[in-house]
Chains A and B, each alone.
Chain A
């Protein structure tokens, strides 16, 4: 049986409103695929993850770059390749601390580097544009909300005029993103609090919550939050501060996931989909204080066998949701391989909302 996977193109049809963030993001993907640069970028990105048998152990083998990028800058997407390129002489691995690159030459040619820089430049600009309603008033919040803010990279292409992602489409996303619920929460609490947020606040208050939310399984809410909700009144200053932090984190995560979708569109025109054509069991379907998590068992296929932490996927499970397609971010994947029964995968997912936010209930509960 041939199992067909639904490309982004088709999933689009489930969204009726063009003003939604999801619809705008998917239409950007479609426009990207139509662009002349896509195949060039697609070939480049693929070559950084895989190698033909005849090119193994030669200078053409750049498959190490993908691994090194995932280790050096997880979820930094294209920026991670650029960071590996920048740092390739310093990267070490294994018990003898050997260089990760078999040759000490840079993994990217000038032309390739420029192509990635153009893409990254657009992404950075796009992230700023999405957060503009906030950071134009409070520039101090940019480092906390920038999804790629944790990485230091000197981008020499600041003056690049070229574009890969169609700017009209990016504008559509930006407009739709301005309706993000987190902006409303931030407006509610007044200027004083927002201006008082600084790096120190990020390190002491936001970062631990962010890490905790990323570490705790999507199937459950962090227990500290449960206690916090019970023991702290709604108008308690601490609760207000944490609510601000959560709003900022929500913006950051939503943008990170939108960046991820666009990045995946460079890799493939197909989206890994979980439907009753590959699912065997829904192990858990949990809605809780922070959002909605799923645990699934599925029969492995080419599109679903290489999923990693942070990957964006679609699912259509009538037994769980309505008949529409929904989307989620990968938290964990596992595999059961047995020559007597076959190859099965397990996956745990954060279900994302309209704004690609994996913690859709969190703000409402704060």
Chain B
């Protein structure tokens, strides 16, 4: 078994995913583009180059590179098969694709095969569940369970292993790309991601959320602010008649720009935490996709008596949400994997679409100009004084 060096651990642990830079890539076919880039790691030289760049040492290079390459290839095959498969088996194929991809990714990032045994979660057998979204997934605190391992690798701060049970409803309600269909399908149900609208008035810049939206989802809009990811660190809140207005705290504007998630609709969403066991859990969206795919994969594979009526008749009326969940998983999971490899948040945008590059505030522009002027003056001084020329002042 390979060994992970001390340096490599620190390289992986920092920076946290919310500190990554944003990067836009123009592409007409984002899904294919992501897989093309991931396929780089199906070849040994590229894997070794990645380890060299990160300062990682692998004690069993041949076996581990084969493991990684195999995982990436299989994952792509599972997803490709899932894309053209009927709903009867699609969740299962996507779940296999996701676990295989994440296993390969963790091996790449840690330069060793992951010590995974079992799923690390369990679907509660609830025969009284009237909707698929009522099914609960219990997180098992097994250190070598797949979920625990992936949480440690990709979202360690979330401490997901101690979060207890999650309903599929909570999972769906946490994903920005499902929000519109989720609201339609499950009205007056808590939603854990909310679209924000950036507003600029002179020097004042705020991001605002609709109070009506928050009330519908949570009853009391005042309860929402403490649940927002890093809210206390980044924002100063004000509740106006129609909006929760969030002003970036002094010096936090750059952080605010990269806070939250950008949905496939191009809008920015703020993630809300889930309160469980008196703790607030805010895992990376990748974890939500993993848990959701596990539950749906399990239902389709081991509960055909539940899954078949749903597929054939949509008796619970949730088919749109679940299909949307699956398609967004197929689009987002490989994208998140690429984010982890490149340590930045990659957004594929259509040609001609507006770039989401940060808008600079006046202060930022002034500061950039000042620093450029300083640089030029320093260069000028070096050139004149160091060369022995007499100073003019």
Residues of A whose CB lies within 8 Å of any CB of B are 1, 276-283, 297, 299, 317, 319, 336, 338-344
Contact = CB atoms under 8 A, between A and B. Distances in A.
B109 to A, nearest CB: 35
20 contacts: A1-B225, A1-B236, A1-B237, A276-B249, A276-B250, A276-B251, A277-B236, A278-B236, A279-B250, A280-B247, A281-B363, A282-B250, A282-B363, A340-B208, A340-B243, A341-B201, A341-B238, A342-B206, A342-B243, A342-B245
A281 B203 contact: yes
Nearest to B253: A281
A213 B251 CA distance: 31
Contacts of B250: 276, 279-282, 317, 319
A282 B253 CA distance: 12
Contacts of B241: 339
Interface in B191-222: 199, 201-204, 206, 208
Question: Which are the 7 A-B pairs with shortest beta-carbon distances?
Answer: A342-B238, A342-B245, A279-B250, A276-B250, A299-B236, A280-B247, A341-B206
B28 interface: no
Nearest to B202: A336
Nearest to A279: B250
B369 to A, nearest CB: 15
Contact of A336 (B204, B242, B363): B204
Contacts of B201: 336, 338, 341
A336 B238 CA distance: 13
B208 A1 contact: no
Quick one: which of B237, B248, B251, B363 has the most chain A CB within 10 A?
B251
Contact of A341 (B199, B225, B251, B361): B199
Given A276-B250, A319-B250, A341-B245, A299 B203 contact: no
B357 interface: no
B14 to A, nearest CB: 23
Contact of A297 (B204, B208, B226, B242): B204
Chain A binding site: helix, strand, loop or mixed by DSSP? strand
Nearest to A319: B251
A279 B245 contact: no
B240 interface: yes
Contacts of A297: 203-204
Contacts of A339: 240-242
B31 interface: no
Contact of B249 (A280, A283, A338): A280
Interface in B248-286: 248-251
Contacts of A338: 201, 240
Given A1-B225, A297-B203, A297-B204, A279 B238 contact: no
Contact of B238 (A277, A317, A319, A343): A343
Interface of B: 199, 201-204, 206, 208, 225-226, 232, 236-238, 240-243, 245, 247-251, 361, 363
Given A1-B236, A342-B245, A342-B247, 19 more contacts: A1-B226, A1-B237, A276-B249, A276-B251, A277-B236, A278-B236, A280-B204, A281-B204, A283-B363, A299-B247, A319-B250, A336-B202, A340-B208, A340-B240, A340-B243, A340-B245, A341-B199, A341-B238, A341-B245
A24 to B, nearest CB: 31
Contacts of B242: 339-340
A276 B233 CA distance: 10
Nearest to A275: B250
Contact of B204 (A277, A317, A344): A344
B199 to A, nearest CB: 6
A280 B206 CA distance: 10
Quick one: which of B199, B225, B226, B249 has the most chain A CB within 10 A?
B249
Given A336-B204, A341-B245, A342-B238, A1 B251 contact: no
Contacts of B232: 1
A341 B236 contact: no
Quick one: which of A1, A277, A280 has the most chain B CB within 10 A?
A280
A335 to B, nearest CB: 11
Contacts of A299: 236, 238, 247
A132 to B, nearest CB: 43
A344 B343 CA distance: 37
Quick one: which of B232, B236, B241 has the most chain A CB within 10 A?
B236
A283 B203 contact: yes
Nearest to A320: B250
B248 A280 contact: yes
Contacts of B202: 336
Contacts of A341: 199, 201, 204, 206, 208, 238, 240, 243, 245
Contacts of A336: 201-202, 204
A280 B236 contact: yes
Nearest to B244: A342
Contacts of B203: 281, 283, 297
A281 B238 CA distance: 16
A2 to B, nearest CB: 11
A282 B203 CA distance: 10
A278 B363 CA distance: 18
Nearest to A346: B203
A52 B174 CA distance: 48
A349 to B, nearest CB: 15
Contacts of A1: 225-226, 232, 236-237
A278 B235 CA distance: 9
Nearest to B236: A299
Quick one: which of B199, B238, B241, B361 has the most chain A CB within 10 A?
B238
Contacts of B363: 281-283
A200 B236 CA distance: 53
Contacts of B243: 340-342
A279 B225 contact: no
Contacts of A276: 249-251
Nearest to B245: A342
Contacts of A277: 236, 249
Contact of A279 (B206, B249, B361): B249
